Amino acid sequence: MARHKVEICGVDTSKLPVLTNAEMRKLFAELQSGKKEAREILVNGNLRLVLSVIQRFNHRSESVDDLFQVGCIGLMKSIDNFDLSQNVRFSTYAVPMIIGEIRRYLRDNNPIRVSRSLRDMAYKALQAKERYVAKHSKEPTSAELAKILDLPVEDVVFAMDAIQDPVSLFEPIYSDGGDPIFIMDQISDEKHRDKEWVDNIALKEAMSKLHDREKRIVAMRFFYGKTQMEVAQEIGISQAQVSRLEKMAIKEMNQDIGP
């Protein structure tokens, strides 16, 4: 139906073809025997794979068209380097390469500057990681990466951390259809555990009107700096419920305290 039509880079995604595994193997055999037209069919037949990968990055502000084009570069590299003799599905081989291509693009356009030497080390680690995944179909540990690169584990971890994309504290990380839970909700406050503002009479009165469970949540969250997950575990309810009760309690207290 028309309402399901989504165009990316002028491509109608609702009409993208899907190749079976048998068709894929036949086309790869043709490509490797010199039939270049098989490459175009393989690219068009795997664009849905690129679409599925770029959905992992849909929380970012980058243009979907740009991510799609970069993902297609990763797809074409995967097609050109795929070894048909290996007993591995093409998607298993291609997805890490597409992700790697997109991550490289995002890192190169990252406003936070990282030293060249550290970035080069991180790129080498990522390349080694991609080769490892392609060979073993699983991600290597930091220790395994360090061994491959003949570097200290600490240096590899530091380099990989340095090129990670910054994340907003207000980025939603969970939603069950109700109020979303943000990264901010996961951070405990180690600095403000004193009870200075508890002495405020108006606040005490507002808290006294809350139900026991809401009162306990407010105290644990704002007096003791606990995360919503910690509160949920201690009280025995879900984190989503803690989030809802917390918001309700704050709303009630604001009404009591006034402007």
For residue 135, the model assigns a pLDDT of 87
116 — pLDDT class (breaks 50, 70, 90):
confident
Count of alpha carbons within 13 angstroms of residue 250, beta-carbon side: 10
For residue 89, the model assigns a pLDDT of 83
Q: Which whole-number Å values give the CA distances from 2 to 15, 38, 86, in the listed order?
A: 11, 30, 41
For residue 164, the model assigns a pLDDT of 66
Percent of residues, the chain, with pLDDT higher than 90: 2
For residue 257, the model assigns a pLDDT of 60
194 — pLDDT class (breaks 50, 70, 90):
very low
Q: Report how far residue 95's alpha carbon sits from residue 136's, in angstroms, rounded to the nearest whole number.
A: 14
For residue 209, the model assigns a pLDDT of 78
- Answer with the residue of higher pLDDT: 109 or 228: 228
Per-residue pLDDT tens digits for 145-176? 889 989 888 788 877 776 665 555 555 655 55
- Answer with the residue of higher pLDDT: 183 or 24: 24
Residue with structure tokens 């995604």? Answer: 13
For residue 174, the model assigns a pLDDT of 56
Task: Say if 1-86+98-106 and 172-257 have the same CATH topology.
Answer: no
Q: Identify which of 71, 62, 123 has the alpha carbon closest to the alpha carbon of residue 96.
A: 71
Query: What CATH topology corresponds to 1-86+98-106?
Result: Rna Polymerase Sigma Factor; Chain: A (1.10.1740)
Prediction pTM value: 0.43
Per-residue pLDDT tens digits for 23-53? 888 988 898 888 888 889 998 888 888 888 8
Q: Do 45 and 19 form a contact (C-beta atoms < 8 A)? A: yes
Q: Report how far residue 40's alpha carbon sits from residue 204's, in angstroms, rounded to the nearest whole number.
A: 70
Q: What is the mean pLDDT of the chain?
A: 76
Residue with structure tokens 């002028």? Answer: 10
196 — pLDDT class (breaks 50, 70, 90):
very low
Domain ranges of the chain: 1-86+98-106, 110-166, 172-257
Residue 253 DSSP symbol: H
For residue 91, the model assigns a pLDDT of 84
3-state DSSP call for residue 174? strand
- Answer with the residue of higher pLDDT: 144 or 86: 144
The correct answer on CATH 1.10.10.60 for the domain covering 110-166 is no
The CATH number of 172-257 is which of 3.40.50.2000, 3.30.1320.10, 1.10.10.10, 2.120.10.30?
1.10.10.10
